[in-house]
Amino acid sequence: MSENTDLVVYQNISEYYSRKITEYGPVPQGVDWNGKCGQELRFKQLSKLITEYGVEIIDLGCGYGAFWEYISGRKRIKKYYGVDVSEKMIGVAKELYPSKKAEFIVAKAPHRKVDYCVCSGIFNVRLQHNDKLWKDHIYCTLRELNSSSSKGFAFNCLSSYSDQEKQKAYLYYCDPCSLFHFCKTEFSNQVALLHDYGLYEFTIIVRKD
């Protein structure tokens, strides 16, 4: 992906989610999810990555910080970094969660190396971008997650096994087997594919050897 194309992609994403948070506020719909139950179910899958206390994590595409609210009550996190391309999202997150353990940053990629990286929903909305460009974008982002984590990373995607008649053109539906193979061959032998939690999506967990 060229630098100019990369900038356009992130600008489009930022504008899209800035409109969502302005319209709905700090609720799941404000980050384009349907509701709180589904959001927490996704977070439950992602949090399976973290098995010990006192770790540092980056939440890429953190939105208004909902994962921090979820994880801080269930895991002992040393430091949480929420990263998002939308200034409006980060502004809301800072107001909602003024914890010394949580830091929110406007950026398109992880800004430092930590124990774990997670991202939820950032590969779903491809807008007008074609399949090849969006697939390249996903692979580039996964490589950034890998290089920014010392112990592992986790992410979720909409599944290509979703009912075709319900699929929407502006969303991107990933082949879970293809992404599993990519992570297994590129990053680690320790890769889990979770496609059994009742939503039309999947979560992949990559643990470093």
Domains of the chain, with CATH numbers? 3-151 (3.40.50.150)
pLDDT score, position 157: 98
In this structure, are residues 112 and 83 in contact, taking their beta carbons and an 8 Å threshold?
Answer: no
Interaxial angle between packed helices 131-147 and 176-186, expressed in degrees from 0 to 180 and rounded to the nearest 10: 40
Of 36, 45, 135, 119, which Cα lies nearest the Cα of 82?
Answer: 119
pLDDT in tens, 121-137: 999 999 999 999 999 99
4 pLDDT more than 90: no
High-pLDDT (> 90) share of the chain, %:
78
Reply yes or no on whether the pLDDT at 184 is more than 70: yes
31 DSSP 8-state letter: G
Burial class (CB in 10 A: 0-12, 13-18, 19+), 187: buried
Distance CA 67, CA 65 (A): 6
Q: How, if at all, do strands 114-119 and 149-159 pair?
A: parallel
Q: Which residues are within 8 A (CB) of 99 and not within 5 positions of it... i.e. 6 or more apart?
A: 68, 72
pLDDT at res. 3: 56
Cα 138–10–18 angle (5° rounding)? 120
Quick: pLDDT tens for 133-158.
999 999 999 999 999 999 999 999 99
Q: What is the pLDDT of residue 11?
A: 86
Q: Using 50, 70 and 90 to split pLDDT, how confident is the model at 205?
A: very high
All residues at 6 or more sequence positions from 1 whose CB lies less than 8 Å from its CB, including other chains: 9, 133, 136, 137, 140
pLDDT at position 94, please? Answer: 97
Report the alpha-carbon distance of residue 178 to residue 206 in Å, rounded.
14
Q: What is the pLDDT of residue 182?
A: 98
Residue 2 has pLDDT above 80, yes or no: no
The mean pLDDT value for 92-115 works out to 96
Predicted pLDDT at 34: 74
What is the per-residue pLDDT across 18-71, written as a single tens digit (0 to 9) for each? 888 888 888 878 777 677 888 999 999 999 999 999 999 999 999 999 999 999
- Residue 69 sits at φ, ψ, to 5 deg, of -60, -40
Residue where the block lists tokens 């899209």: 16
pLDDT > 90? residue 109: yes
Q: Which residue has the tokens 């297994």?
A: 184
Q: What is the pLDDT of residue 33?
A: 66
- pLDDT of 112 over the 60 cut: yes
Residue range 165-179: mean pLDDT, rounded:
95
